[in-house]
């Protein structure tokens, strides 16, 4: 299955990319997506995750075509 991964703000700067496109075989969680996209980088504490623009836990399962996003705590308003 195809997963699009997006990064925002300081996390995007730290990683040096704004997005990845990954292919998975079988079941994958949000945490798996991070590990596959960033094998040499531990997910920073407090990172938030969203699937298809809704907040999810890291053990949430992803499906083909999902957009998975990782970003630091929000600071709008």
Partner 1 sequence: MNIKIYAKPFDPWAEIQAYQHSAQDMAGKFGATSIFIGTMRDFNEGDDVKGMTLEHYPGMTEKQLAKIVAEASQQWPVIDVLVLHRVGDILPNEPIVLVAVWTSHRGDAFDASRYIMEALKSRAPFWKKELLKSQAERWLVKNTDGYLAGSS
- Could you say whether residue 26 binds partner 1 (CB under 8 A)? no
DSSP assignment string, the chain: -EEEEEE-HHHHHHHT-SEEEEE--S--BHHHHHHHH-TTSPPPTT-EEEETTEEE-TT-B--TT-EEEEEPPP---
Residues 38-57 that bind partner 1 (CB under 8 A): 50, 53-55
Query: Contacting partner 1 (CB under 8 A), which of 1, 4, 6, 20?
Result: 6
CB of 50 to partner 1, least distance (A): 6
| CA 7 – CA 17 distance, rounded (Å) | 7
Closest to partner 1 by CB, 42 vs 74, is 74
Cα radius of gyration rounded to whole Å, the chain: 12
CB of 52 to partner 1, least distance (A): 9
User: What are the residues binding partner 1 (CB under 8 A)?
Assistant: 6, 8-10, 50, 53-55, 69, 71-77
């Amino acid at each position: 299955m195809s997963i699009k991964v997006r990064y925002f703000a300081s996390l995007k700067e730290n990683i040096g990319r704004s997005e990845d496109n990954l292919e998975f075989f079988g079941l994958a969680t949000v945490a798996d997506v991070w590990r596959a996209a960033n094998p040499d980088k531990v997910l920073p504490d407090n990172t938030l995750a969203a699937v298809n623009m809704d907040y999810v836990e890291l053990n949430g399962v992803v499906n083909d075509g999902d957009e998975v996003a990782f970003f630091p705590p929000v600071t709008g308003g």
